[in-house]
Amino acid sequence: MTTASPFPQDFLWGVASAGHQVEGNNVNSDTWFLEHLPGSMFSEPSGDAVDHYHRYREDIALIAGLGFTSYRFSIEWARVEPEEGLFSNAELDHYRRMLEACHENGLTPVVTFHHFTSPRWLLAVGGWEGPRTAELFARYCDRVMAHLGDLIGVACTLNEPNLPWLLESFGIGGETPENRGSVPVWAAAAERLGVDASTVAPFQFCSTEAGFAVKVAAHRAATAAIKGRRPELPVGWTLANSDIQSIDGGEELANQVRRDVNERFLAASRGDDFVGIQTYGRTVYGPNGHAPAPEGVPTNQMGEEIYPQALEATIREAHRIAGVPVMVTENGLATEDDTQRVDYLRAAVDCVASCLADGIDVRGYIAWTALDNYEWVFGYGPKFGLIAVDRETQERTPKESAHWLGRLAQAHNPLASYETQSASL
């Protein structure tokens, strides 16, 4: 007797990217600005990145040719609105051509309106603690929808608004506004912007309660703007939800981090069309804070335990708390060993299948990332890509992981046995 695949026929199989990490020369963004400041937390500047801005057509064709059915990418606010109130039709036309390329290649475009980076000018008016930010972001989303909305398949408002709270639990960032002036990078940013350091609040490093309120307000205002143009378009945001665990003595801290990072953002997702879950592993807390990976376990390039089983826990948590459909919008592994990546992806897909088999509404699995790219503060060291890039020549070379996951997407058939498909890949 054949068991039907748990994957729905319209399940999205894809890969993801973020504009700043792949396009190159995003010179009007706050992240480019921070990369070049004294005391920068970025290990190197992004520069040309992998020149996806000019090479998107060949990249999109390559992604489709590998067998994927969707491509998640971001629109750069700093390109579309390089100065407050000045919108670039030329840049909007560029992103329209990207969307058209997706449709020409049979890919559903999953579009992120904000993936960490904001226009530099937003930092000067309060950034992600500013009283005008939600309104300004919604205005930008409305302008994008007016120009591009008919071609967007799924809309993600904000990428990982909760990440700064997770980073803070590792001792990264988390400075209160009154203490920012004592941090060299924030002092340098304030001096160049001509503002007080207490007001410098970039999206990735803003973990105050004011920041939480602004991000939730921005998400809701953006959702209303997007729905105002296309009421039927699925809209949600994407969350950096680690599987929060504890060892003896770490239960209280783990519970607090779980509430701050996962649960309250999932609660804010109620009523959305879906919530994007972005999980890479588990985070374990002990009596002295974050517990290092157990001795002898395989680790990724950042020294973190390889633990794909975390994805099942975070999908189930999202289903329980948010109560809306779930989409895996990022999941992947930083490694030079692509055999490790294939094993990781296989285990992660099994997690999704288990959730679907239990009746949880999971709409897609989108791997991070399409191309080896610029990994923010880590620079170009970590290799998450399913497609390798030689940054001297910009030559693209698909890895076995790209072929493996692409074949799974191609082989997907709701009437076939998932076990049979897995065994053949």
Instruction: List, by residue number, the catalytic residues.
Output: 160
Nearest to 247 by CA among 192, 187, 292, 301: 292
State the chain's maximal CA–CA distance in angstroms. 71
Phi, psi of 62 (to 5 degrees): -65, -45
Write the Ramachandran bin of 49: left for phi over 0, alpha for psi from -120 to 50, otherwise beta. left
Residues contacting 192, CB < 8 A, separation 6+: 33, 37
If residue 423 lies in a helix (H) or strand (E), which one and from where to where?
A: helix 418-424
- Determine whether 51 is exposed, middle or buried from the number of CB atoms within 10 Å of its CB (0-12, 13-18, 19+): middle
DSSP string, 356-407: HHTT--EEEEEEE-SB----GGGTT-----SEEEETTTTEEEE-HHHHHHHH
3-state SS assignment for residue 318: helix
Q: What radius of gyration do the chain's Cα atoms show?
A: 20
- Determine whether 98 is exposed, middle or buried from the number of CB atoms within 10 Å of its CB (0-12, 13-18, 19+): buried
If residue 236 lies in a helix (H) or strand (E), which one and from where to where?
A: strand 235-240
Return the exposure string of 244-270: e unless at least 16 CB atoms fall within 10 Å of the residue's CB, then b.
Answer: bbbeeebeebbeebbebbbbbbbebbe
Residue found under tokens 């990982």: 160
Which contacts qualify for 61-65: CB closer than 8 Å, 24 or more apart? 61/101, 61/105, 62/387, 62/396, 62/398, 63/14, 63/15, 63/105, 63/107, 63/370, 64/105, 64/106, 64/107, 65/105
Residue found under tokens 């799924």: 154
266-to-138, 260, 390 alpha-carbon distances in Å = 21, 10, 39
